[in-house]
Chain A
Amino acid sequence: MWVVEHPAVEVNGLHVRYGSTPVLVDVGLTVPAGAGVCVTGENGIGKSTLLRCVSSLQQADEGTVRVFGAVPGDSPEFWRAVATTVEPPTWYPGLTAREHAELVCRAHGQDPDSSGIDEALERFGLAGHADAIPPSLSSGQKQRLTLALVLLRPSSLLILDEPEQRLDPEGRALVAGMLADYLATGGSLLLASHDDKFAVASGAEMVSMEQLTGPAS
């Protein structure tokens, strides 16, 4: 994990436009290290764009983004500290769901025997699908597998785009509980969500896109 002297996320004066349509106008956001922030707002207001900019997957037209005090980018330090579901994953051919989890653990130097792969699959209701190849899973199961992978690997900041999507009520409560545990162990969390109950249960502070927009932010 990175040394957490800086806020987990600092965004200042962010402007993004698609063609002539402004999506983010002078957006500012701070996620203190060890805290959680849930960005809310209607569809198309720019939540995903903001998360993509913080994850370095999209360049802003103006403004600055800092993650643990550094410019986000393609460095191994950044991607070892940040785990995200902002992009839907593609899956490796011929690898089962459990093997994907083991690969992620081994790439992060974890011992697959003690990293709790089977427990994580069990908790996400995927124990019966451990031998399935991910493309054969339903969209909800794929979502749960993606969340299981980001929670299995070590990280300092989780960036999740509507993690409650395609989950049943029980699954939502479970994931919210796991995110609260993640915060309790010192992790930082930035998520976008439409589900206030989920956001509250995850322990993240709720903030709307309107609050983040403009000089007052």
Chain B
Amino acid sequence: MTAVVALRPVRRWIRKAQASHRDRGDALATVYTAVFSIAVLSVMAQDTLRAVFSPLVPHLSGVGAVAAAACSAGLIHLALRRLGPVTVTRPAAYFLLTAPVSRQRLLAPSLVTAALGAALAGGAAAFGILGNAAATGSIVLVATGALAGVLLALLASAAQSRPRLASLVDTAARIALAVGLAGLVAEAIGWTPPTLGGEAPALVLVTVTGALAVVAFILGVRDLARTPNDAILESAKTTGTLADSVYGIEPSFFAEMLERRYWASRRLRSARLPHRLPPLTGQDLLLARRRPARLLWTAASTALPLLLISAPRWVLVIALLTGTVIAARGTTATIKTDAGNPVLLRMLGLTSRQVVQQRLWLPAVLGAAWATMALGLLQVAGALPPGQWWALGPAIGAIGGAAAIRAARAGFVRNDLIPIDTPMGSVPTGPVVYAFAGLDLLLLTLPTVIRLFQDLPATWSVIAVQTGLAALGVRAYISWTTDPERVGLSK
């Protein structure tokens, strides 16, 4: 048997070898660009950040603050679980995971990183909640938030090696997120929550959370060696693909990996494609029905714009359009597959017009349902000027559906386009074009957007104009970008 090899010298050697191949100037340039970009963005978004973290009129009640904390905790936990949180780099997964080195020492750095990241996120969330809470809270609670973040990272790490615990805490996180959002929405539309009594002193809270975090951290590091190989390999792939996505500015790498992983974990039973529908529409319907949780979250998210009732109108408009497009994107993975490689379309022998016409139905219906519901809720909550705003939903949804299809047809980011030189450095054209693919079609929602901006009522004539524009726009999109005589997706 080989004795356990000390890991530190191996890591030092790897770092040294890597550094010898790297140009120090390049590394410094990257650091400079990152720091400069963060500084510029912080200054640009100063007002927005202040509005988010510390608005002029704080509005959250005690229950609202707890609901916001539940949402933040749920989100942080789910993000940590998606990333691992215990992970190694892909080369380390290949070379070091299989080497006779201490498993605990190999994995500890990632746990520390995850705990630090979660502490930052927890601290920022606590800071934001404190800034929005009507009752003043002690700033010491920010430290409590950070320590709670550390506890969440350790809980996620424990869940990584225990499937039953994982399913329990993941469900709890989803429930916390749903209940928290429901509480926030209820408060935003005028529900007066009961006053919370008997607040614990901040110092006691921070001390108890801190002590718990320290104990949990010691136990968590000891427990690291238990993390199974398959869980580490999976998280190594996840973080590696995420890094590829960020470095290559190609979000589809990560999205596709998640999609593949989701279907690989499902046990499916072959179903018949609905025979009354065109084949591709039937396929999309089957795909949507196979993701009930996504449909449920999409339906629940129609209430989220209610949280923005008191936000500037442009924020509400962006949220409405974004929500519609995200709902419409529920089934566009199929068109993304065809955009990447049209081999199946050749097998099916369908023209680009047939494909887009058949594939547009589901996104348009999903987008229309989302927009109708969201506008209806806003109307019922009295957040909009008079008029039947819900009736604009089908038109907005159809445009959102076409936008989602257009974005999916864009396929991958084109990194061969010439970058644009600006005083702040060169801007890569491919990712910018990719990011805006499909969004141009949202210009068709202008009649609704203008009414919302100007706080004018939604008259039936506006609804008729918007519906007509949507019908014409979608028809023109299909006619101009597809060919009835060509197999594939392009014209």
Is B283 engaged at the interface, CB distance under 8 Å to the other chain?
A: yes
**Roughly how many angstroms separate A136 CA and B260 CA in the complex, as a whole number?**
10
Residue from B260, B270, B280 in contact with A131 in the complex, judged by beta carbons closer than 8 Å: B270
Is B162 engaged at the interface, CB distance under 8 Å to the other chain?
A: no
**Roughly how many angstroms separate A107 CA and B488 CA in the complex, as a whole number?**
14
Contact with B along A130-174 (1 / 0, CB 8 A): 111101100000000000011001000000000000000000000
Kindly name the residue among A74, A102, A108 whose own CB sees the greatest number of chain B CB atoms within 10 A.
Answer: A74
Q: How many A-B residue pairs have CB under 8 A?
A: 105
Contact between A131 and B344, CB atoms less than 8 A apart: no
A-side interface size class? 35 or more
Q: Return the chain B residue nearest A149 by Cβ.
A: B347
Is A128 engaged at the interface, CB distance under 8 Å to the other chain?
A: no
Which residues in B have their C-beta under 8 angstroms from that of A135? 260, 263-264
Which residues in A have their C-beta under 8 angstroms from that of B264? 133, 135-136
Contact between A102 and B349, CB atoms less than 8 A apart: no
Kindly name the residue among A97, A98, A103, A131 whose own CB sees the greatest number of chain B CB atoms within 10 A.
Answer: A103
Q: How far is the CB of B163 from chain A (nearest CB, A)?
A: 20
Q: Return the chain A residue nearest B289 by Cβ.
A: A94
Residue from B268, B273, B290, B487 in contact with A79 in the complex, judged by beta carbons closer than 8 Å: B487
User: With A75-B485, A102-B273 in contact, do A107 and B263 touch (Cβ < 8 Å)?
Assistant: no
Contact between A107 and B348, CB atoms less than 8 A apart: yes
B-side interface size class? 35 or more
Contact between B273 and A106, CB atoms less than 8 A apart: yes
Which residues in B have their C-beta under 8 angstroms from that of A43? none
Contact between B486 and A98, CB atoms less than 8 A apart: no
B208-256 interface (Cβ within 8 A of A): none
Kindly name the residue among A76, A96, A98, A103 whose own CB sees the greatest number of chain B CB atoms within 10 A.
Answer: A76
Contact between B333 and A93, CB atoms less than 8 A apart: yes
Kindly name the residue among B259, B282, B283 whose own CB sees the greatest number of chain A CB atoms within 10 A.
Answer: B283
Chain A residues with CB under 8 Å of chain B are: 74-76, 78-80, 83-84, 87-99, 102-104, 106-108, 112, 130-133, 135-136, 149-150, 153
Additional A-B contacts beyond A96-B268, A97-B270, A98-B270 (16; CB < 8 A): A74-B488, A76-B350, A76-B487, A87-B343, A88-B343, A89-B344, A90-B341, A90-B344, A93-B263, A93-B337, A94-B263, A107-B350, A131-B268, A133-B264, A135-B263, A153-B347
Smallest CB-CB A-B distances: 4 pairs = A107-B348, A98-B270, A106-B279, A80-B349
